A and B are shown apart, each in its own frame.
Chain A
Amino acid sequence: MAVDTKSALGPRGQASQAALAHVPNIPGSAKPDPILDVHSVKRSFGGLTAVDVEQVQVQRGAITALIGPNGAGKTTFFNLLTGFDAPDTGEWTFNGQQVAGTAPYKLARRGMVRTFQLTKALSRLTVMDNMLLGAKGQTGEHIYAAFFPFLWSKQERANRERAMELLSRFNLAEKSADFAGSLSGGQRKLLEMARALMSDPELIMLDEPMAGVNPALTQSLLHHIKDIREEGTTVLFVEHDMDMVHDIGDWVIVMAMGQIIAEGPPGAVMKDQNVIDAYLGTHHDKELTESGKSLTVDSDPEGTHS
Chain B
Amino acid sequence: MDIGFVLAQSITQALGVTAIIYCLAAIGLNIQFGYTGLLNFGQVAFVTVGAYSIGVVVVTMGLSLWLAIPIALLASVILALILGIPTLRLRADYLAIVTIAASELLRLVVRSIALRDIFGGVNGINGKIGEQFHALNPLPAEFVTPYLTFSRQDAWVVLVGWVIIAIISFGVWLLVRSPWGRVVRGIREDEYAVVSLGKNVFVYKMQALILGGMVGAMGGIIWAIAKQSVQPDTFVPDVTFFTYTILLLGGAARIFGPIVGAILFWFLLAGVGEFLSQAIQAGWIDFLKPTDVGPIRFILVGIGLMSLMIFRPQGIFGDKRELALDGR
Contacts and interface: CB of A to CB of B under 8 A. Distances in A.
A, B from the same assembly: yes
Interface of A: 82, 84, 103-106, 108-109, 113-116, 120-125, 129-130, 132-134, 136, 138-143, 145-147, 149, 152, 156, 179, 181-182, 195-196, 198-199
A122 B37 CA distance: 13
Interface of B: 171, 174-175, 178-183, 185-186, 188-190, 192-201, 207, 211, 321-322, 325-328
A108 B198 contact: yes
Given A104-B196, A115-B196, A129-B185, A147 B171 contact: yes
Contacts of A105: 195, 198-201
A122 B193 contact: yes
B189 A122 contact: yes
A147 B177 CA distance: 9
Contact of A84 (B171, B179, B192, B322): B192
Contacts of A147: 171, 174-175, 178
Contact of A122 (B171, B180, B181, B190): B190
Nearest to B322: A124
Contact of A123 (B175, B196, B211, B327): B327
Given A109-B198, A143-B180, 13 more contacts: A105-B199, A114-B196, A120-B193, A121-B193, A125-B182, A129-B185, A133-B182, A133-B186, A141-B178, A141-B179, A143-B211, A147-B175, A181-B325
Contact of A132 (B179, B194, B322): B179
Contacts of B190: 120, 122
A123 B193 CA distance: 11
A149 to B, nearest CB: 7
B182 A132 contact: yes
Contacts of A182: 321, 325
Contacts of B328: 123
Given A136-B198, A182-B325, A124 B174 contact: no
A198 to B, nearest CB: 8
A287 B179 CA distance: 49
B174 A108 contact: no
Contact of A146 (B174, B196, B322): B174
A219 B204 CA distance: 38
A116 B194 CA distance: 12
23 contacts: A82-B196, A104-B195, A105-B201, A109-B198, A114-B196, A122-B190, A123-B327, A124-B188, A130-B186, A133-B194, A134-B197, A141-B180, A141-B182, A143-B175, A143-B180, A146-B174, A146-B180, A147-B171, A149-B174, A149-B178, A152-B179, A181-B326, A196-B197
Contacts of A103: 200
A75 to B, nearest CB: 13
Contacts of B200: 103, 105
Contacts of A115: 196
Contacts of A84: 192, 195-196
